[in-house]
Chains A and B, each alone.
Chain A
Amino acid sequence: MIAINLRNLYLISREDFKNLFKNPMWLFYNLVFPILLIVVLGFLQKDNYGGAVSAFDYYGITLMIYTVISSGMTSANAFMEVTIRKPNMRIIYAPGNERVIYLAKIVSSFGFCLLCHLTVAVLTFTLFKIRVDAIPQLLILLVLTELFSVGLGVMFCCIFKTEATANQILSIVINIFAILGGLLFPMEGYGAVVRSLSYLSPAKWLANASFAMIYDHNFAWFYPTVMGLILAIIVVFIICAKTFRKEDCIC
């Protein structure tokens, strides 16, 4: 029983993983678009930065965070996109637990996004000489955030039942996270209320933790951020488990 579930989880994840690579849109979205964003914002803002931190140093990190918290768009697509929904039904007909469906979507999108985003990071960080430090810790943050994001995408599909609604809500949530976290423009100078609100955004914690580690070797933000992410991942998985219904796979 466990053997067939694990085997099917592996088979379905592998198939979905390959399918993601066959979709030019998702390759563009996860590989090309982040590089473009970093290049464009890095050049545009070049004159507003100077000294120790260049525009690329800043946007290289924040836009990487932005990209990674957007991974849910990919997992929502891999889960419930119209052309994927129908074959999903066959997975439910097959022996084994139907939960392998959404778990497989999480696993495959996680692998796909992680691979794409690592490539983006390696390319942009070397090309634009973006300063990094504490690489193992940054990698831990990357992996955890990636898992949280793809889980969030699947969770929204489980809650809202269609990819279209899930994606709409998800993109609002992601952009609120990004703006509050100061990923697109700094939020300093917007007053105390905004500043305390900004701590609701995981992006804020990620940005603070990353910059503190890179520039100050300060790990004070790192541990609470890791704990928060692990907690958020657990919550996301619980909500997925509670809201997933195989009926929603019928189409």
Chain B
Amino acid sequence: MNAIVSVNQLKKSYNQKPVVREISFAVQKGEILCLLGPNGAGKSTTINMLCGILGYDGGEMSYRGENISSCLNRFKRNLGVVPQDLAIYEDLSAEQNVRFFASLYGLKGRELEEKVSKALDFSGLQESRKDRAKTFSGGMKRRLNIACAIAHEPELLIMDEPTVGIDPQSRNHILSSIKKLSQHGMTILYTTHYMEEVEEISTRILIMDSGTIIAEGTKESLKEDIFDERQFIMEIEEDQCLNVDEFYKIEGIKKVEKQAQTLTITTLKNIENLDKIIALVITSKTKIRNLFCRTASLENVFLRLTGKSLRD
């Protein structure tokens, strides 16, 4: 396997309360791995242990097959971190911030200036590079927070909820730059509690809740695995002749609900029965005005797995 980082049985407790419970996963080269979970799931704790800022109670982590503690500096040199909270000097300009943090990675001279400029360009901050960070909007500060993490061109970029509390425009900018970074060969580990972000950027997903990884896969495979059902939603022209109980005679039907003009039919996914359903509706002299099929969203996946919704 082409794992850049692998985590094995990692655990951490605060005051005897387990926060991360023996989790294992690997980050493969080139992927955008999303760690999805509600607030308090243990995402930041996991990330902080991985970045070496937080000690852990048990387990192992390795970088390219070598124990991280024995190659910590090599690992850190190839690692970029965007922490959950802004970690920038408010009194410095955008450029000074990026330059300072990049210089800690041993960059200097022409190379340093070039990479600083590239990171600022990339984050769309080139025009405001001379302005002090404290004059920036929330979205610009977030982008600067990212610029500070990528200037040294890390192999692995870890981002902890980098879009919390910003305007949609900045969020879109950030999401598309993540895809661009990935195209340039950067491997990305991204935590979030926003489903839509995962849908948009992930190449693989880990779903985390209460300190455990409860599911793993691509967004398609997660939906496939967890749901063997799908729903047909029909908008119909109200007709007294339609007898809901008749539907249950069709193979695969699990549940039928009728509410005013809407008919919701839940059926097993692997059984082809749409033609029979439509035939039944038509023979009941009911007109179908609209029909659509609802497949599971990641939100449903999460709801199904944990019995609770992601949003609090």
**Interface, chain A (partner B; CB < 8 A):** 1, 4, 7-8, 11-12, 15, 19, 22-23, 83-84, 86-96, 246-247, 249-251
Contact = CB atoms under 8 A, between A and B. Distances in A.
B55 A93 contact: no
A45 B101 CA distance: 51
A95 B105 contact: yes
B90 interface: yes
30 contacts: A4-B73, A11-B104, A15-B100, A22-B91, A83-B89, A83-B91, A84-B89, A86-B83, A86-B85, A86-B86, A86-B87, A86-B88, A87-B88, A87-B89, A89-B53, A89-B83, A90-B81, A90-B87, A90-B104, A90-B148, A93-B52, A94-B76, A94-B104, A95-B73, A96-B76, A246-B53, A246-B54, A247-B53, A249-B53, A251-B85
Nearest to B152: A94
A85 to B, nearest CB: 9
Contacts of B55: 247
B137 to A, nearest CB: 18
B53 A4 contact: no
A22 B100 CA distance: 16
Contact of B53 (A1, A22, A250): A250
A15 B100 CA distance: 8
Contact of A93 (B81, B85, B88, B89): B81
Nearest to B101: A90
Given A15-B100, A96-B73, A247 B89 contact: no
Contacts of A19: 89, 91
Interface string B75-109: 01101010101111111000000001101111000
Interface of B: 48, 51-55, 72-73, 76-77, 79, 81, 83, 85-91, 100-101, 103-106, 148
Contacts of A89: 53, 83, 87
Contacts of B48: 250
A91 B72 CA distance: 14
A94 B105 CA distance: 6
What is the interface of chain B mostly: helix, strand, loop, or mixed?
loop
A148 to B, nearest CB: 28
Contacts of A247: 53-55
Given A11-B100, A11-B104, A86-B87, A92 B73 contact: no
What is the interface of chain A mostly: helix, strand, loop, or mixed?
helix
A103 B79 CA distance: 24
B55 to A, nearest CB: 6
A154 B31 CA distance: 42
Nearest to B48: A250
B308 to A, nearest CB: 27
Given A90-B87, A93-B76, A95-B73, 9 more contacts: A12-B104, A22-B91, A86-B87, A87-B88, A87-B89, A88-B87, A92-B52, A93-B51, A250-B54
Contacts of A93: 51-53, 76, 79, 81
Nearest to B81: A93
Contacts of A249: 53
B101 A94 contact: yes
A87 B148 CA distance: 10
Contacts of B87: 86-90
Contacts of B77: 95
Contacts of B52: 92-93
Contacts of B85: 86, 251
B202 to A, nearest CB: 23
A21 B91 CA distance: 11
Nearest to B102: A94
Q: Across the A-B interface, give the 9 residue pairs with the lowest CB-CB distance, nearest first.
A: A94-B104, A95-B76, A86-B87, A95-B73, A93-B81, A95-B77, A90-B87, A92-B53, A89-B87
Contacts of A11: 100, 103-104
Name the residue in A7, A12, A93, A249 with the highest tally of chain B Cβ atoms < 10 Å from its Cβ: A93
A145 B242 CA distance: 93
